[in-house]
Amino acid sequence: MKKEYIRSVLNIFASSPFKPLCIHANKGGDCVRKLSESVYAFCEGDMETVERLNHEIDDIEHEADVIKQTIRGELSSSIMLPVHATDLLNFLKPQDSISDEAQEVSYWLTLRRFEAPPEISTGFLELMDKTLATVEQYEKLVDTLSELLESSFSKRDVDDTLSLVVEVEEMEHQVDVIEKDMVRKIFRNEDVLGGVGVFHLTRLVMGIGKIADNAEHAADRLRTMVLRR
């Protein structure tokens, strides 16, 4: 099954070098969408769903790894690329971290039940929603790579792509603001949450925030890749 999957990715890579990057970005998006479902289930106390989604995220993250390894393997061949191979690899690394961090947060959700005041659960869900929106905006950004290739990097298409980079950066900043506010709220409720509860929720909040940070970092690397082509 894995060999067939790799072969299909190779076929896509041969016809369009950027297409596997889009598929890989979508795998990261799929992980974060599953994570969003898991966060909502976690806040509702549905640990059975949290456990199930954790396994599903593991599977998607593994598929993302297979695509990443296949792309890296192909870059060592004589395939012609419209961008510098080093820039592409520097872009691929933070993009891959999106699914990696989603998998990590998903695992941490399984470790402890959610018991916190309403203001924390509301902020927690807001953080997840904004992070998911950031990642989905990032997916739109990566989708423009194929259009850039088809138009031979026309100035108009390059400008459209770069404007999406700025949007991802702004959305990540909004996530960062929510994240810091959430950490303050968690520590203000230490008497209710206890030391372990504070540690657990802080780790979850910072992990979710890191997903958006990885998307912003990948967007910045994509900008460098496009400008240095």
pLDDT band at residue 223 using 50, 70 and 90 as cut-offs:
very high
Q: How far apart are CA 8 and CA 202, in angstroms?
A: 40
- Per-residue pLDDT at 82: 77
- Per-residue pLDDT at 11: 54
- Per-residue pLDDT at 136: 98
Q: How far apart are CA 29 and CA 162, in angstroms?
A: 20
- Per-residue pLDDT at 172: 98
Q: Determine the average pLDDT of the residues in 128-142.
A: 97
pLDDT at position 2 over 80? no
Q: Do the Cβ atoms of 176 and 207 come closer than 8 Å? A: no
pLDDT at position 116 over 60? yes
Number of structural domains (the chain) is 1
The 8 Å CB, 24+ separation contacts for 67-71 are 67/9, 67/20, 67/23, 67/24, 67/27, 68/24, 68/92, 68/96, 70/6, 70/9, 70/10, 70/13, 70/20, 71/9, 71/13, 71/20, 71/21, 71/24
Q: Determine the average pLDDT of the residues in 34-41.
A: 98
Which residues have a Cβ under 8 Å from the Cβ of 56 and sit 6 or more positions away? 34
pLDDT band at residue 85 using 50, 70 and 90 as cut-offs:
confident
Q: Which residue has the tokens 């690397």?
A: 221
pLDDT at position 76 over 80? no
Q: Determine the average pLDDT of the residues in 49-63.
A: 97
Domain of 195 in residue numbering reads as 2-227
What does 116-145 look like in DSSP terms, one character per residue?
--HHHHHHHHHHHHHHHHHHHHHHHHHHHH
Range of weakest confidence among 11-15, 80-84, 214-218:
11-15
CATH number at residue 152: 1.20.58.220
The amino acid at residue 209 is G
Which residues have a Cβ under 8 Å from the Cβ of 97 and sit 6 or more positions away? 214, 217, 218
- Per-residue pLDDT at 77: 58
Q: How far apart are CA 100 and CA 82, in angstroms?
A: 27
- The most confident of the ranges 43-47, 152-156, 222-226 is 43-47
More confident residue, 205 or 157: 205
- The most confident of the ranges 5-9, 14-18, 45-49, 70-74 is 45-49
Q: Which residue has the tokens 């479902």?
A: 37
pLDDT at position 131 over 70? yes
pLDDT at position 186 over 70? yes
- Per-residue pLDDT at 5: 54
Q: Do the Cβ atoms of 54 and 106 come closer than 8 Å? A: yes
The 8 Å CB, 24+ separation contacts for 151-156 are 153/82, 153/226, 153/229
- Per-residue pLDDT at 52: 98
Q: Which residue has the tokens 């996530």?
A: 175
The amino acid at residue 106 is S
